[in-house]
Amino acid sequence: MKEPVEPTVLDYVKSKLKFWQTGQIEIPPLPVEEQAVEQVEELPVVRTPFPWPSLLALGLALFAQYTFEPGFNAPRSWVLGTVLYLAALGLLIFAYRRGEWTLHPLPASESAQDPLIVRWVAFVASLILGGVTFYLMGGNLFSALNLTLWVLTFFTHLRAFWLRDPQAEPLWNRAKRFFARQSWDIRITRWALLIVAVAALILYFRVYQLSEVPPDMTSDHAEKLEDVFDILNGKFSIYFPRNTGREPLYVYLSALVAYLFTGVSFQTLKIAAVLGGLATLPYLYFLGKELGAKRIGLLAVLFAGIAYWPNVIERFGLRISFYPLFVAATFYYLIRGLRRQNRNDMILAGISLGLGLNGYTPFRIVPFVIVAAFIIYIIHARSGQERKQAVLWLGLLALTSWVIFIPQARFALENPDLYGFRALSRMSSVEQPLPGPVWQLLLQNLWNALKMFNWSDGGIWVHSVPGRPALDVVSGALFLIGAALVLIRYIRQRQWTDLFLLLSIPLLLMPSILSLAFPDENPSLNRTGGAIIPVFLLVGLAVDGLLAGFAGGAESAQSQDVSEGNRPVKVRAAHPVLMFFVMAGLLFISCVQNYNLVFHEYYLQYRGSAWNTSEMGVVLKQFALTQGSSENAWIVPFPFWVDTRLPPMWAGIPERGDMAIRPESLPNTLSITDNKLFIFKITDTETMAKLRELYPQGTLNIYKSARGENWNFYIYVVPAVETISSVQ
């Protein structure tokens, strides 16, 4: 039997063209293969509940802080704000239990054992060099010899204790390999763009109108500029004894800025202070990462960068910004070192501590804060090995800081009264009797300092807006929320970092709290400056927890798979639009208020309190350029009037020195035949009468200040003797 012939493609086409015929050729369907087809089931999407407790807690906290603002009601009352804050706390706890407003978990601690390696030859060499350096630092002067020995002491100390990572590639090799590349790939990520945007905003707040805000100098600035002038003229002091004494680091940075860019001026001091403040922010960011996530660090940097408190203490142009700078560096290396069990971090913490002791007097409290940190860590340590290691590292940290501190220690040994006078004059009855019992003053100062963030930052006009909270409305509310959340987490998890973060705030306030002889100076934004670091870390933690709650409890707004009972579900970013508008609103309110505080309120109250030495500097400069020598210009002092050292600095002639001339010394100027200039207070009738008697040919004018009549002053110009003779 013949097998059927398979139809060809041509047969199929012909059959289709003759569609009227029967017997159409059809292509049979392909055989269906039996196979297991997995049914892909779409996971159900579960959206988190609307975070109304978090929003309500935030709103109540913001309104509570707003009631503490000076402009809310007169007189201010703490009752309404306190009630609102308590209600916000209750809602915050409820939101925390619902998983809405929770903190990012702390990074896991690592376990490592210190090999206890010491290079004994280098260690002995560092001890010998340190002893010789200490001896040669006498006389309160740096020299080429004692500086060289000091540097050698430092590097031999590093050689003795620094641990090398055998797996790490040397830095030089990495640099060579990097620059040997033919091309580099540059990746621009959303995170990088966000960092750039934050940096630009912060730079705007820190440097905008830096030369105008604040407008004039005080006697403190005169002392600093005289120190800078001494350095530029070859006098390299270890400690600057003017005005009860000052540490050197800021003064040398100011001298460098003056030498390279600005000369001896108010702007010199401002730039150096702002550089210290900007250098603080990277460490604040890294600290945020150590507390859980880089977003915490960036948020802390953002709110600290635009905040009125650090901004005004930098713009005032003194070494205050060096307090938070070295607190941030010391805390970062300390916390990271104890988490990673890394000896090298302890050395870096010791270097930061030593540099801080060369920066600003209130930093002297930080060694005690470090000891408290180690005690807290040892109490919470998981094993005896970690406790023993921590004790050894505390000693290494102290020894490292001592190496950096050697010059200051030498000066303190030679001049204990001068080195400790500033602190002792505030803590004891050295300068004036204590106004009450010590315990009572201490408790009162502690309470006043703790409420400075949300109620009153004190009454010192030069670097604050007196009588208002140190924090703006947004940061003030978030600070208390962050503190509550960290306290809750500590109660639940007992992690030493949380307890240290909270306790570090009152400890860093101690330089202000211990002003027992002058309780009116507490609180002050300068002596409490170190607390900027933990305060804004708490702000960053609070905002990060809020954003995580809006994103469905995740760290970011990305979706994540979880399970509900035995069934997998997908949780999505619950409220991304809400998250954006809440964050944008908080940032906008904070920016607007801080801008107003710095560039309006602070500027106006400072301008209305400082004497207008800048205008006198303009008069002096014009006289020196057009009529005579600045050596023939004087200012007659008057009680509670201008510092007569400042106008020459405004005029750009710091070498002129103090322009003061007492009324009884005016006759001594008769022997000078060139043009002469006298400036004196508008109410100083005695000087006016004396000048008219001595120089009847002189011309009296009133300089009308742009600030108003209270800042007017007299200008008395005496023509040269030769000019008078030719006229006659």
3-state percent breakdown (helix, strand, coil) of the chain, nearest 5 = 60, 5, 35
Query: pLDDT band at residue 14, thresholds of 50, 70 and 90?
Result: low
Residue 89 has a pLDDT of 97
Residue 168 has a pLDDT of 72
Tens digit of each residue's pLDDT (9 = 90 or more) over 507-534 = 999 999 999 999 999 999 999 999 999 9
Q: Are 214 and 606 in contact (CB under 8 A)?
A: yes
Query: pLDDT band at residue 26, thresholds of 50, 70 and 90?
Result: low
Residue 272 has a pLDDT of 98
**Residue burial 539-570, b: 16+ Cβ < 10 Å; e: rest:** bbbbbbbbbbbbbbbbeebeeeeeeeeeeeee
Residue 677 has pLDDT above 90, yes or no: yes
Look at the block and give the residue holding tokens 């017997």. Answer: 23
Query: pLDDT band at residue 10, thresholds of 50, 70 and 90?
Result: low
Residue 575 has a pLDDT of 73
Query: pLDDT band at residue 99, thresholds of 50, 70 and 90?
Result: confident
H helices of 415-509, where?
Answer: 416-427, 438-450, 473-493, 496-508
Q: Are 474 and 585 in contact (CB under 8 A)?
A: no
Query: pLDDT band at residue 425, thresholds of 50, 70 and 90?
Result: confident
Tens digit of each residue's pLDDT (9 = 90 or more) over 694-706 = 999 999 999 999 9
Residue 621 has pLDDT above 50, yes or no: yes
Q: Among the listed ranges 348-352, 369-373, 563-567, 664-668, which one has the minimum average pLDDT value?
A: 563-567
Query: pLDDT band at residue 430, thresholds of 50, 70 and 90?
Result: confident
Q: What is the mean pLDDT of residues 83-95?
A: 97
Q: What is the mean pLDDT of residues 626-648?
A: 95
- Counted residue by residue, the chain has a size of 728
- Stated as kind and residue range, the H or E segment containing 253 is helix 249-257
Q: What is the mean pLDDT of residues 61-66?
A: 98
Lay out the sheet containing 633-635: strands in order across: 633-635, 676-681, 713-718, 699-703
According to DSSP, residue 571 is labeled E
Instruction: Report the percent of the chain where pLDDT is more than 90.
Output: 79
Lay out the sheet containing 560-564: strands in order across: 45-46, 567-571, 560-564
Tens digit of each residue's pLDDT (9 = 90 or more) over 225-283 = 999 999 999 999 999 999 888 999 999 999 999 999 999 999 999 999 999 999 999 99
Q: What is the mean pLDDT of residues 407-411?
A: 97
Closest by Cα among 478, 432, 434, 154 to 299: 478
If 0-12 CB within 10 Å is exposed, 13-18 middle and 19+ buried, where does residue 394 land?
A: buried
Q: What is the mean pLDDT of residues 146-151?
A: 98
Residue 181 has a pLDDT of 79
Query: pLDDT band at residue 727, thresholds of 50, 70 and 90?
Result: very low
Query: pLDDT band at residue 447, thresholds of 50, 70 and 90?
Result: very high
Rg (CA), the chain: 35
Average pLDDT, the chain: 90
Tens digit of each residue's pLDDT (9 = 90 or more) over 128-142 = 999 999 999 999 999
Q: What is the mean pLDDT of residues 372-401?
A: 96
Q: In this structure, what token pair is assigned to residue 395?
A: 């000693």
Residue 86 has a pLDDT of 98
If 0-12 CB within 10 Å is exposed, 13-18 middle and 19+ buried, where does residue 380 land?
A: middle
Residue 48 has a pLDDT of 66
Residue 569 has pLDDT above 60, yes or no: no
Query: pLDDT band at residue 41, thresholds of 50, 70 and 90?
Result: low
Closest by Cα among 59, 58, 56, 62 to 593: 62
**Residue burial 138-155, b: 16+ Cβ < 10 Å; e: rest:** eebebeeebeebbebbbe
Query: pLDDT band at residue 559, thresholds of 50, 70 and 90?
Result: very low
Tens digit of each residue's pLDDT (9 = 90 or more) over 173-231 = 777 787 777 777 788 899 999 999 999 999 999 999 999 999 999 999 999 999 999 99
Closest by Cα among 395, 601, 426, 387 to 524: 426
Residue 725 has a pLDDT of 40
Beta bridge partners of 677: 633, 717
Tens digit of each residue's pLDDT (9 = 90 or more) over 333-359 = 999 999 999 999 999 999 999 999 999
Long-range contacts of 602-607 (CB under 8 A, 24+ apart): 602/213, 602/214, 602/308, 602/312, 602/464, 602/465, 603/212, 603/213, 603/214, 603/215, 605/461, 605/465, 605/466, 606/213, 606/214, 606/215, 606/216, 606/461, 606/462, 607/214, 607/215, 607/216, 607/707
Beta bridge partners of 678: 634, 716
Query: pLDDT band at residue 6, thresholds of 50, 70 and 90?
Result: low
Residue 723 has pLDDT above 50, yes or no: no
- Amino acid identity of 187? R
* Residues 6+ away with beta carbon under 8 Å from 290: 107, 332, 335, 336, 339, 497
Q: Are 582 and 299 in contact (CB under 8 A)?
A: no
Residue 87 has pLDDT above 80, yes or no: yes
Residue 39 has pLDDT above 70, yes or no: no
Residue 373 has pLDDT above 60, yes or no: yes
